[in-house]
Amino acid sequence: MDSIRIQGGIALQGKVRIQGSKNASLPVLAATLLVGESSFIRNCPRIADVHSMVSLLKSLGCSVRWQERGISVDSSQVRRGEMPREAVTGMRSSLCLLGALIGRCSEVVMEHPGGCVIGERPIDLHLYALSQMGVEFTEDAGSLKAEASGLHGAYICLPFPSVGATENVILAGVMAEGDTVLEGAAREPEVLTLCRFLCECGAYIEGAGSGRLVIHGGRRLFGTDFTVPSDRIVAGTYLFGCIGAGGCVFLEQAPKEEMAAVMETAGRMGGRVCTSPEGIYVQAPERPSPVRIVTEPYPGFPTDLQSVVLAAETLGRGCSYIEEGIFENRFRILEDLDRMGASVCQRDARRVTVRGVEALRGACVTARELRGGAALVVAGLMAEGETFVSGCRFIYRGYENIGRDFRELGARVTSV
């Protein structure tokens, strides 16, 4: 089912459990390649991107089994590093297999990765960083080949804290001879989760969670039983969905320790946000207060929640300013919001102003990428009348069942 139908205008009430993290699960699953034996990864979300990663691991020789509480991965039979074209071109996060396969097989052949169209998203930083560790790259007819006859530690300084490049250095570094020092590392919680998993498998990584990592390579890794944390972006989607649609909700198992910037922004929008050991409680204002946000690398406000704040502020009490500091093509929902009666002015490729209107009206809109699609669902919850969101295959890449979750909060949402 590729469309979602929403009957809007209903305030949200109740509680919903937050799924496991997409952005943490994928690099952890990639890291199981380095273990060479069985691992059990709990709380993996049942989303399209995880299913694609499972297919990739199987194609490489892993034995992968879904169980009730997680995924069992046995990578003992992996012998080659060639990934099927059809899997790689549809999933940007397949890129994190690059560092893992270099560490395991010393050779990788892959197509350039795909994923959401939200900007150029070049892979130059990945190639630069890994080349410092002895990896040689060649390109031929759209394929990327990487070889490392002797993977070694290095001193690497990233000019931008790329999450993917940081993860690839970590994955390669734990298998390299000697120490790798990475300056300018991404500090996102997903990077910390990857380091925790590898350390539980026997790796030694210093500085996890900071901008400077020291990865002591060459240690034998072994399998472990590991639990992926809850998804901070899904939790933020539902939090700002409540701010926009009204009501009060409890986000069970929301990773509040990773969401300081999100909760601070919700407070500035007029929401009442409280935390407990079990999650986050949010009570919406009558209408959102205007805000100014600029997306930044963690611990700043996440780019993945920019579009849902934009949607919520279409019913705000004034004029909000939103600047996209990470990607240059992340305002793809503006045409659809305009169709719903929103007043959004795009000042340039990275900046918009949002002037709140009295009401949105339901319309037929189209998801063109993951987070923008989720924001259109939120706009549908806020609108008067019926909204149809097509292109939901993008949404299912990151949300187990966004319709079910909003129904648990009282919304009238069905898949069609």
pLDDT in tens, 319-367: 999 999 998 778 999 999 999 999 999 999 999 999 999 999 999 999 9
Task: Indicate if 43 and 181 belong to the same structural domain.
Answer: yes
Query: What does the pLDDT read at residue 117?
Result: 42
Query: What does the pLDDT read at residue 177?
Result: 97
> Are residues 156 and 180 in contact, defined by beta-carbon separation less than 8 angstroms?
yes
Task: Indicate if 122 and 139 belong to the same structural domain.
Answer: yes
Q: What are phi and psi of 319, to 5 degrees?
A: -110, 125
Query: What does the pLDDT read at residue 112?
Result: 67
Selection from 225, 288, 271 nearest residue 28 by Cα: 225
Task: Indicate if 161 and 281 belong to the same structural domain.
Answer: no
Task: Indicate if 83 and 217 belong to the same structural domain.
Answer: yes
Query: What does the pLDDT read at residue 130?
Result: 96
Task: Indicate if 212 and 243 belong to the same structural domain.
Answer: no
What residues in the chain have per-residue pLDDT under 50?
A: 114-119
Using H for helix, E for strand and C for coil, what is the string for 148-162? CCCCECCEEECCCCC
Task: Indicate if 288 and 212 belong to the same structural domain.
Answer: no
> Are residues 106 and 149 in contact, defined by beta-carbon separation less than 8 angstroms?
yes
- Is 199 a residue of the active site? no
Selection from 60, 56, 65, 115 nearest residue 87 by Cα: 56
> Are residues 273 and 281 in contact, defined by beta-carbon separation less than 8 angstroms?
yes
Task: Indicate if 315 and 362 belong to the same structural domain.
Answer: yes
Task: Indicate if 210 and 243 belong to the same structural domain.
Answer: no
Q: Which of 202, 227, 252 is the last residue of a domain?
A: 227
44, 96, 105, 116: the active-site residue = 116
Query: What does the pLDDT read at residue 94?
Result: 74
Task: Indicate if 79 and 12 belong to the same structural domain.
Answer: no
Task: Indicate if 257 and 322 belong to the same structural domain.
Answer: yes
CATH code of the domain containing 111: 3.65.10.10
pTM: 0.95
Task: Indicate if 315 and 410 belong to the same structural domain.
Answer: yes
Query: What does the pLDDT read at residue 197?
Result: 98
Query: What does the pLDDT read at residue 141?
Result: 75
Q: Which of 185, 210, 227 is the last residue of a domain?
A: 227
Output the six-digit token pair for 296. 């930044």
Task: Indicate if 176 and 39 belong to the same structural domain.
Answer: yes
Question: Measured on CA atoms in the order 101, 107, 128, 180, is the torsion positive or negative?
Answer: positive
Q: Which of 206, 227, 248 is the last residue of a domain?
A: 227
Domain tally for the chain? 2
**Residue 410 belongs to domain spanning:** 4-19+230-415
